[in-house]
Amino acid sequence: MSFKKIRKALFDNTGIYIGKRPKYKGRADFSIDGFHYGLSFPTANYAPWLGDAAFMNIYTQIKNNTLVDIYRCYELWQLVQQANSLNPAAAILEVGVWRGGTAGIMAQQLSNLNSKATLYLADTFTGVAKAGANDSFYTGGEHSDTSQHIVEELLKNKSKYPHYAILKGIFPEDTENKIPVTEVFGLCHIDVDVYDSARDILEWIWNRLIPGGLVVFDDYGFHSCTGVTKLVEEYRNHADRQIIHNLNGHAVMIKIK
């Protein structure tokens, strides 16, 4: 038995967590571009996803198609329901689909809610786009190990939600014309890793969000995505929104005006 399995067996039921500290240039606590990073492990242990059979069922089917952990997946699951309660007809936009895992999570929740709202899924399917001077790690083209076919197969065979549209290309420049100008949105999930792309999506979606609408930045809490952290912080004091930093790594931006 490996050391990792022995450690897991010994500590799983004790409430003790042994985690690997993040390191950058040999340091466990470090700063990049003025943002500070270190071990961030909350001690709370409420885990509602474990009692949510519908979520666990779809999560086990899609988990190999996403780099998003169960905590952030469950937050998306809940936020789809909350956005739907504000306006059941409001669409959802995800930019940065990769292999379709989080798309499958959101599609299944929409199906459970008997929704007919359109789930727009935008991706280049050729990797990260628009990496630039504000990004410390990404240079462009990462996460290209995917295809539109992979995403469509997952949605067809797992969530089976029919009301989706795949937008292939850089969003919004290449594919915004495929969205009706009258469409409004309740939720936008931005998972693009870099500053310029996240900024352009945010600026496009904001006036199309309903009051109470949500923008989720998947990459906010990770030291490899400092550009996204920088972008969110630039909007911290805007009076038309509230921003929540969730220790799972998300930043959630809520439209209040």
- pLDDT tens, position by position, 182-219: 999 999 999 999 999 999 999 999 999 999 999 999 99
Strand-pair partners of 216: 189, 252
CA angle, 241 then 193 then 146, to 5°: 130
State the pLDDT at residue 42.
81
pLDDT of residue 138: 96
Q: Which is nearest to 95 in space by CA: 2, 13, 177, 205?
A: 205
For the chain, what are the domain ranges?
1-41, 46-255
| Tens-level pLDDT at each residue, the chain (257 residues) | 555 555 445 445 544 444 455 566 667 678 888 999 987 778 889 999 999 999 999 999 999 999 999 999 999 999 999 999 999 999 999 999 999 999 999 999 999 999 999 999 999 999 999 999 999 999 999 999 999 999 999 999 999 999 999 999 999 999 999 999 999 999 999 999 999 999 999 999 999 999 999 999 999 999 999 999 999 999 999 999 999 999 999 999 999 98
Task: Give me the CATH code for the 46-255 domain, please.
Answer: 3.40.50.150
Residue identified by tokens 């709370």 is: 44
Q: Can you give the pTM of this predicted structure?
A: 0.90
Per-residue confidence (pLDDT) for residue 25, from 0 to 100: 66
How many Cα atoms sit within 13 Å of 175 on the Cβ side? 16
The Cα 88–Cα 29 span in angstroms is 44
Q: State the pLDDT at residue 5.
A: 55
Q: How many CA atoms lie within 13 A of 179 on its CB side?
A: 29
Nearest Cα to 241, choosing from 179, 197, 188?
188
Which letter does DSSP use for residue 243 in this model? E
